[in-house]
């Protein structure tokens, strides 16, 4: 009899996995519901004007409030062909971009385009070939070129540099 009491005492009590499974399932369901509520705009006030175009009072085809005219203008940077160093596998870089400016500064930035072309040409010639060939470096190159353009034109004139063509030949 003492042996059976000892054997029972040595066996650990098995815990039920049912509460763990229920807890995980509830967490997944609640997490999914919270994601849907936030994503659809039910929580934190989604687009209140989105339903304005639906129903009797809305305009046909309207979706949301009337959009204000964009306060932006684009100044094209003409296509540049930059010759790369003699040890480069690619011989030329073909580059084209647009400068995003405020409409009030469009004429001023257009007048400064020779300086912009000069600073971009100088910078792109100095960049290492490995950086030009790395697709992840395009973001860094774009930021560097934007900063140089802003130095030439003035900080408040050029908002962004949009690269439309970047081809190594």
pLDDT in tens, 32-64: 888 888 878 777 765 554 554 555 555 555 555
pLDDT in tens, 146-156: 999 999 998 88
Q: For residues 120 and 91, which has the higher predicted lDDT (pLDDT)?
A: 120
- Architecture label for domain 73-168: 2-Layer Sandwich (3.30)
pLDDT at 56: 53
pLDDT at 111: 96
pLDDT at 132: 87
What is the arithmetic mean of pLDDT over 25-32?
A: 92
pLDDT in tens, 105-144: 999 999 999 999 999 999 999 888 888 888 899 999 999 9
SS (H, E, C) the chain: CHHHHHHHHHCCCCCCCHHHHHHHHHHHHHHHHHHHHHHHCCCCCCCHHHHHHCCCCCCCCCCCCCCCCCCCEEEEEEEEEEECCCCCCCCEEEEEEEEEECHHHHHHHHHCHHHHHHHHHHHHHHCCHHHHHCHHHHHHHHHHHHHHHHHHHCCCCEEEEEEEEEEEC
pLDDT at 12: 65
pLDDT at 4: 59
Question: How many angstroms separate the CA atoms of 135 and 163, rounded?
Answer: 13
* CB-CB contact of 132 with 168 (8 Å): yes
Q: How far is CA 16 from CA 12, 13, 22, in A?
A: 12, 10, 11
Per-residue confidence band for 3, with pLDDT thresholds at 50, 70 and 90? low
Q: Where are the domains of the chain?
A: 18-67, 73-168
Cβ atoms < 10 Å from Cβ of 132? 18
- Over its C-alpha atoms, the chain yields an Rg (Å, rounded) of 31
């Amino acid at each position: 009899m003492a042996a059976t009491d000892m054997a029972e005492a040595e066996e650990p009590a098995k815990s039920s996995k049912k509460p763990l499974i229920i807890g995980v399932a509830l967490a997944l369901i609640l997490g999914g519901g919270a994601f849907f509520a936030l994503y659809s705009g039910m929580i934190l006030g989604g687009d209140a004007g989105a339903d304005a175009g639906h129903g009797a009072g809305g305009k046909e085809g309207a979706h949301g409030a009337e959009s204000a005219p964009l306060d932006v203008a684009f100044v094209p940077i003409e296509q540049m062909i930059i010759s790369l160093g003699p040890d480069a596998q690619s011989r030329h870089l073909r580059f084209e971009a647009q400068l995003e400016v405020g409409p009030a500064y469009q004429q001023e930035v257009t007048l400064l385009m020779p300086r912009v072309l000069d600073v971009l040409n100088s910078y792109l010639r100095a960049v290492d070939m490995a950086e030009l060939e790395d697709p992840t470096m395009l973001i860094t190159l774009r930021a560097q070129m934007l900063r140089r353009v802003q130095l030439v034109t003035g900080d408040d004139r050029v908002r962004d540099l949009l690269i439309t063509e970047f081809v190594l030949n």
